Amino acid sequence: MEIKVPATTANLGPGFDVLGLALRLYLSVKAKKSLGARELIYRGRGAESVALDETNLIWQTFTHVARREHIEAPDLVIEIDNEIPIGRGLGSSGAAVVAGVLLANEMCRLNLSQGQLLDYALEIEPHPDNITAAMVGGLVACCVTDGGHSLYAKIPISPDIKAVVVVPDFALATTTARAVLPAHYSRADAVFNLQRVAVLAAGLGSARLELIAEAMRDRFHQPYRKSLIPGLEESLELQNITGLLGVSLSGAGPSVLALAVDNFAEIGENIRTHFARHGIEAEVLILDIEERGAEIVKS
């Protein structure tokens, strides 16, 4: 069997731990049962840093779900092909967790519901935005109940919109990016973000694209992460390019996301130049929205 999980971008500016968007860049996992041997084979981005033992995130998630369901995890041969940059704010860990829960559901014949799968994914990856978008596709708004259950709603998004993602040549751990955030926010900053995340969701869902630039502004995380990402401050100020809707940090970074309907290469080059001025090389990816989410192909 094969599992195909898309990359994701989260937050989109003000939607901190709320909004996620699936993109057409994929983690592919092929698996088959084996007799008395476990083997992980890895190809693609980040091959030099990915663990190929029991600490591998896909394998950890797979065995976690089996254990929670009181089932002994079978031995597997797992082949991983990864297009998603690791540690760059494109949901690589979320994709691995989603692959792990789907792998457990299929190989252990658990017949879990989508809600149960998301809940198990939350036990490994406690922030719902990336894992939900990776699981169900498209643009999602999500939350976690007091009981630890995942809830989400899909938001329509214009098919004309593409994601221009500029990926700098350095990684940033989510733990590091979260460590710079304040423990408390002012009422003014909370209201600022609440206003914009509501307008952003409504604007994308109703094709009111003229709202997006203002609606992608943020006071919760981007101002504090600028010190970690040279070039981010200048990138967030990008405007006056036909087709550009808005710019934000992609997830916890360090990649920068622009939503656009035209002039994608020009927008990407402008952001890449901001990194270059700080001596940082960067790659420009122009990606369509992935509406279908994770898929399973059984041989």
Among residues 156, 178, 198, the one where a domain terminates is: 156
Whether pLDDT at 46 is above 90: no
One-letter amino acid of 116: Q
Quote the CA–CA distance of 203 and 194 in Å, as a whole number: 14
Q: What is the pTM of this model?
A: 0.94
Domain count, the chain: 2
pLDDT the model gives residue 207 = 82
Helix, strand, coil percentages (3-state) for the chain, rounded to 5, are: 35, 25, 35
Residue 212 lies in a domain: yes
Query: Do 38 and 68 share a domain, yes or no?
Result: yes
pLDDT mean over 211-234: 96
**Residue-wise pLDDT tens digits, 106-142:** 999 999 999 999 999 999 998 899 999 999 999 999 9
Find the mean pLDDT for residues 33-45: 88
pLDDT at 291: 96
Give 47's pLDDT tier (boundaries 50, 70, 90): confident
Of the candidates 96, 81, 99, the one whose C-alpha atom is nearest the C-alpha of residue 28 is 81
Contacts of 88 (CB under 8 A, 6+ apart): 167, 168, 171, 172, 250, 253, 254, 255
21, 7: one domain: yes
Q: What's 15's domain CATH number?
A: 3.30.230.10
Do 8 and 152 belong to one domain? yes
Higher-confidence residue of 279 and 47: namely 279
What residues have CB less than 8 Å from 49, skipping those under 6 apart? 86
* Residue 95 pLDDT exceeds 90: yes
**Per-residue pLDDT, 1:** 87
Is pLDDT of 299 > 70?
no
Lowest-confidence segment of 8-17, 31-40, 78-87, 252-261 by average pLDDT: 31-40
Give the domain CATH number at 166. Answer: 3.30.70.890
Which residue is associated with the tokens 């940082």?
280
Question: Ramachandran region of residue 146, left (φ > 0), alpha (ψ -120 to 50) or beta?
Answer: alpha
Least Cα distance to 139 among 218, 22, 13, 245 occurs for 22
Identify whether residues 244 and 214 lie together within a single domain. yes
Claim to verify: residue 150 and residue 216 sit in the same structural domain: no
Q: What is the pLDDT of residues 250-272, one digit of tens each?
A: 999 999 999 999 999 999 999 99
Q: What is the pLDDT of residues 56-87, one digit of tens each?
A: 999 999 999 999 999 998 999 999 999 999 99
Q: Residue 81 sits in which domain range?
A: 2-156
Boundary residue ending a domain (156, 183, 216)? 156
Residues in Cβ contact with 256 at an 8 Å cutoff, skipping those fewer than 6 apart? 165, 166, 231, 232, 235, 236, 247, 248, 249, 250, 271
How close are the terminal C-alpha atoms of the chain, in Å? 5
Q: Is residue 297 in some structural domain?
A: no
